[in-house]
Amino acid sequence: MEDVIEWLKEHGDLKIINEPLDVELEIPHVAYLEIKRESSRPILFTKPIYKSKGIEYDMPVLMNIFANRAITQKIFGKHPDEVAEGIDALLKFKPPKGLKAKLAMLPKLFALKNIFPKRLKSKGACQEVIIQKSEVDLDMLPILKTWDEDGGRFITMGQVYTMSLDGSMQNLGMYRLQQYGKNRLGMHWQIHKDASHFFDQYQKAGKKMPISIAIGGDPLYIWCGQAPMPYGMFELLLYGFVRGKNARIVKSMTNDIYIPADVDVVIEGFVDPELTEIEGPFGDHTGYYTLKESFPVLEVEAITMKKNPVFQATVVGKPPLEDKYMGWATERIFLPMLKPMAPDLIDYNMPENGVFHNLILAKMKTLYKGHAQQFMHAFWGVGQMSFVKHAIFVGEDAPHLEDHEALIRHILNRLHRDKILITEGIVDHLDHSSPEQFVGGKLGIDATGDEVDNGIELQLEDQELLGMMQRIDESIRGLKQYMLDTKNPICIITVDKQGSQKYLISGLHKLSPYLKVLIIVDEQGNDLDNPYMLIWRVVNNIDAQRDIILEPFIAVDGTNKNEQDGYDREWPADTLCNREVLESLRDRGLIDWDETFVHKWGLL
């Protein structure tokens, strides 16, 4: 992986685009459409330009590195399950008894020395070129603007290296970074992240916080940056464990933070604990814009780089994206770390259209009454799992967790309101649906038992049922029923929302013989024939305490919220592509799309 481009040409079917393309919208739009294709590939843009400022870059932009499962596995050098097996063995480690057992253990113990990063006394390849503070201009980097409403250009694949005030802990995180002019960056570390905790230490001490931001190098660095490691553990330990060799790190030029020697670009600086600035909006991985908010600001002291650097970036928005494959690796590797607090957990899956923290599916052995509820509380109380909003548990007889259609049928045949737990807890910083930032409703469904006895009383064709509903409430525009052969069919309706949907649901009580699960979404922006995107919409848009009603049928309000719902925050917009840009790229033969593709992924 020393030369990532050559490695990707050989192992990743690298797609190379030599036509000049704008870092604002054009490059991100090409990458965004590419990652949604079944045979998606990494892309190298060799001639990025900054059209509005007349800048032509010599530094190419590399995107969609984690383009599919096959290349993700190649980046790791092994299947993520093999990494998980090694972690599981470590967690179950017991001191050997007897000389033979001790000798057999020596190779494993010897290999552990490769976990710890190795500090080099020399400079790294990342420091071949040094740009001092007086000459720093972030415009020299091909930083991207992805969406029309973004607040500016954002570094999207930055490895943010920080350390605690006393220097005893170092952290690697992946945070977006907004460019403010020539020498300042907005530090969007969320309140629950380790870097934010370190910042609190510096703020209380009244000291500036050193930061080094690396871009490029081994793609495994960026995966480590988003891995849910326990607090206080340096993520590059995970790099050493996966690679089987030490991460080679060098000291930054202007602070005491160590960064990998082989990265392409390093941005060094300090954060003044008294200085914040409005950051955003930014079209994020939820598929919605995160709104403007105050965050700390990094003042750049120096930029170092290789002689011929490559700028790595990712594109975020509506799923599927490359975080699908990064998340897959994370999911597999961290399964052993969940089992100590949930010993009877068999497996789990976080579908990408559930935006990971919004939906988790888990398979478990049930040994006693309330076992699934116990697991729900365990999940909601540990590390990054505590951000999960909706958790569904099935028994060991359930289909494979990635066989989603069969699994949904299995769940619907076991769904009962008495097995639904609605509670409250912390939610992700990016969550927009809860009435209050950082705290919101949690939904747990226990589908581990036997099939329920009673199904729907009466079945009607979609148009007949729609007609009956429209006679009750004319705001209802469309209707489609799914899984009519299960005990709990799903009826999804679209509405031209005029008020709180609680009144609509109340009016539909008289139709309870025809309904088991009713889901409501807005007419605009939703397609009743596209269940993938409907799941994305609903799990993003609901707060379980406010939006789920259990009597006389299960009703879920997945509409956008406003004051009529008691919601007084600003509701964010979807991330949508720029049609003019898409058409221009298609006319130049750089991307291929039609209205069916656009509709499938909610692009416009």
| Residues classed as catalytic | 284
Q: In sequence order, what are the residues at sequence separation of 6 or more whose Cβ sits closer than 8 angstroms to the Cβ of residue 106?
A: none
3-class state of residue 394 by DSSP: strand
The alpha carbon dihedral of 313, 315, 320, 324 has a sign of positive
Centroid of chain to Cα 58: 31
Q: How far is CA 350 from CA 74, 229, 485, 499, in A?
A: 22, 17, 26, 33
What's the 3-state SS for 430-499? CCCCCCECCEEEEEEEEECCCCCCCCCCCCCCHHHHHHHHHHHCCCEEEEEEECCCCCCCEEEEEECCCC
Which amino acid makes up residue 72? T
Report the DSSP beta bridge partners of residue 179: 185
3-class state of residue 411 by DSSP: helix
Dihedral pair phi/psi, residue 443, rounded to 5°: -120, 130
Rg of the chain in Å (alpha carbons): 25
Q: Which residue has the tokens 């013989």?
A: 513
Tell me the C-alpha distance between 535 and 505, whole Å. 20
Tell me the C-alpha distance between 160 and 442, whole Å. 31
Tell me the C-alpha distance between 403 and 383, whole Å. 27
3-class state of residue 109 by DSSP: helix
What's the 3-state SS for 30-93? HHHHHHCCCCCCCEEECCEEEHHHCEECCCCEEECCCCCHHHHHHHHCCCHHHHHHHHHHHHCC
Among candidates 461, 377, 445, 365, which has minimal Cα distance to 408? 445
The answer, yes or no, to whether the previous bond of 80 is cis (omega within 30 of 0) is no
Give the count of beta carbons closer than 10 Å to the beta carbon of residue 37: 15
Tell me the C-alpha distance between 540 and 560, whole Å. 10
Q: In sequence order, what are the residues at sequence separation of 6 or more whose Cβ sits closer than 8 angstroms to the Cβ of residue 311?
A: 48, 59, 60, 61, 62, 141, 142, 215, 216, 264, 265
Q: Copy the structure tokens of residue 553.
A: 């049928």
Cβ contact 526:533 at 8 Å: yes
Residue 145 gets the label, from left (phi > 0), alpha (psi -120 to 50) or beta, of beta
Tell me the C-alpha distance between 336 and 85, whole Å. 8
Tell me the C-alpha distance between 253 and 303, whole Å. 9
Length of the chain, in residues: 604
